[in-house]
Structure 1
């Protein structure tokens, strides 16, 4: 009989009190997960979205007033001089869209690749303004998703496995690979190979991504590396509690606050901003901006992921040094 079986036999069956306690705890965990995943989406709304406006005075003021009436507190309008300047704001991720008024009517420039929900709201607001002032309205999606995935479902469905895949890989590495150097090398190789492989699936098979494959893959590599080394470091430093803490950071908080299915800006404040400081949100933004916006506004997510990577690696090395001081003969 194994040691574990002997221990279970000595302990006897669990008491009903313990069964009730464990069951209650698991129910609480399920409810917390439900609330964490559902609440941000339920409370999401398009508010204070940055947009550009090209229109002469006093027409510009009339359009702004019309937007305030049609969609109160929805848009933060910046007046720009030309349609090209408005498009530059969109392509540089400084605005989600623009309203361009010309002699031929109103053109609503959107970027569904930035957020399909925001692009839809922009189009609806433009139609309301056009109806109010009796001018024709044209909606132009200047940065769309791919034709194969016009709503960007693959981004929200595929980017999260890229970010959370690092967590899954780290757990597998911890259970199957032994040795400090061996674990670090395995995590690094997985991040590189996995990042390029998963990006290839999203770009060449599912057709979601349309940008530079190599640059987008490097973003995926960084996202997987950040999560993998975070889990490795937290487990080595805090043991089983570290795995739980990493799951809270990456799954319980990082997943619902990433804003991948909509946009971080439409999540309740300040949760959208907080989500961008966690690996899933930073990875999603990095992939979105690299694949569809030629790398615009990628500095912040790169810095965030690099910090998480260094933090995880640092925790791991500190824990190794601590354990070797306690037991110099230990293998790892």
Structure 2
């Protein structure tokens, strides 16, 4: 009874930390932005703006700023002239940071008695300008990772069901990735990148989610299922930053979120859907590592099960059989 109460208290505390603290401390945290203009104006702006919120980098021309945005070196940029402040955004890369940068540009323009002109270099699609479909896809994908592991793990038990369990979660991941990509591109029109690239990225994400839960369940039983679900739902979901972008959380929270399967899946989806795959290597490696971990745990549990149920030789004394 005491352990159950302590476990429930720890669970509630974890939920509060994962959901409340990042929201309270949310805001731009060392968001990389580019600044261009006359050398004096650019250097002055860098000196005044660079700090905890912004990581300001100097560029020669607006064209180099836009190229750096599409290459994902920076999240946005400012071009300061005597007549205006041009702000270059990548709304699809992080709408919250884009909004904060726009507010910063308006403030700077007000100080110079001029106006800010917004250029969205990497926007969301016209049919989903706020990226609502993209954000809404994360939670169903998390459930889509948990349910196959739960169902297949219960239906196909033991060593005989090992291949079916593994083939089932991997097949579901491929089909699920293709289905989610089709829904986002052809139903809600939330993405307009290359379809198969998006689908394969989502398939890898679903494979990471489902194999992780399957592996934990194989090793720890229903406790492993609870651990996997909590890892994905209570930490992975609020720290994924799919709606805001990774620079909106403090460094530690943002790093943890991008190392978990939901956050890495969101980052890979964003890279494939809006940046032609630029920046996809890191989240893909993270997801591949989770797939490998899940498979390793599943195989380890199967090996232990085989040892536990292996028949003893005929000549083994009874006491040795009992203690084996």
TM-score w.r.t. the length of structure 1 is: 0.87
On the 8 A contact 2:49/2:56 being kept in 1, the answer is no
From 297, 304, 309, the equivalent of 1:322 is: 304
From 253, 263, 266, the equivalent of 2:245 is: 263
From 137, 143, 155, the equivalent of 1:176 is: 155
Q: Following TM superposition, by how much is the alpha carbon of 1:167 offset from its aligned partner in structure 2, in angstroms?
A: 1.6
CA distance in 2, matches of 1:21, 1:53: 55
Aligned to 2:170: 188
From 118, 125, 136, the equivalent of 2:97 is: 118
Aligned to 1:160: 139
Aligned to 1:3: none
Q: Following TM superposition, by how much is the alpha carbon of 1:73 offset from its aligned partner in structure 2, in angstroms?
A: 3.2
Q: Following TM superposition, by how much is the alpha carbon of 1:241 offset from its aligned partner in structure 2, in angstroms?
A: 2.1
CA distance in 2, matches of 1:311, 1:21: 29
**Which shows bigger deviation, 319-328 or 95-104?**
95-104
Structure 2 residue 109 is matched with structure 1 residue 127: no
**Which shows bigger deviation, 39-48 or 214-223?**
39-48
Q: What pairs up with 1:287-306 in 2 under 5 angstroms?
A: 287-306=269-288
Structure 2 residue 258 is matched with structure 1 residue 276: yes
On the 8 A contact 1:163/1:283 being kept in 2, the answer is no
Q: Following TM superposition, by how much is the alpha carbon of 1:219 offset from its aligned partner in structure 2, in angstroms?
A: 0.6
On the 8 A contact 1:174/1:232 being kept in 2, the answer is yes
CA distance in 2, matches of 1:31, 1:276: 21
What is the CA deviation profile of residues 81-113 of structure 1, one whole-angstrom value per residue up to 9, with x for unaligned ones? 122211111111111101013465221001110
Aligned to 1:11: none
Aligned to 2:213: 231
Q: 1:28 to 1:234 in 2, by over 3 A?
A: closer
Q: Following TM superposition, by how much is the alpha carbon of 1:185 offset from its aligned partner in structure 2, in angstroms?
A: 1.1
Could you tell me which runs of 5 or more consecutive residues in structure 1 were left unpaired when the two chains were aligned.
1-17
What is the CA deviation profile of residues 207-261 of structure 1, one whole-angstrom value per residue up to 9, with x for unaligned ones? 1111111100101000000111111111111222211221232112111111112
Aligned to 2:314: none
Structure 2 residue 90 is matched with structure 1 residue 108: no
TM-score w.r.t. the length of structure 2 is: 0.89
**Which shows bigger deviation, 127-136 or 194-203?**
127-136
Structure 2 residue 53 is matched with structure 1 residue 74: yes
On the 8 A contact 2:65/2:77 being kept in 1, the answer is yes
**Which shows bigger deviation, 217-226 or 314-323?**
314-323
Q: Following TM superposition, by how much is the alpha carbon of 1:65 offset from its aligned partner in structure 2, in angstroms?
A: 4.4
On the 8 A contact 1:223/1:280 being kept in 2, the answer is yes
Q: 1:54 to 1:45 in 2, by over 3 A?
A: same
CA distance in 1, matches of 2:52, 2:306: 58
CA distance in 1, matches of 2:209, 2:301: 18
Cα RMSD after superposing both structures: 2.0
On the 8 A contact 1:67/1:129 being kept in 2, the answer is no
> Hey, which bits of structure 1, 4+ residues long, moved more than 4 A?
20-28
Aligned to 2:316: none
The SS at the match of 2:154 is helix
Question: Number of matched residues?
Answer: 308
On the 8 A contact 1:97/1:122 being kept in 2, the answer is yes
Could you tell me which runs of 5 or more consecutive residues in structure 2 were left unpaired when the two chains were aligned.
312-324
**Which shows bigger deviation, 251-260 or 30-39?**
30-39
The SS at the match of 2:130 is coil
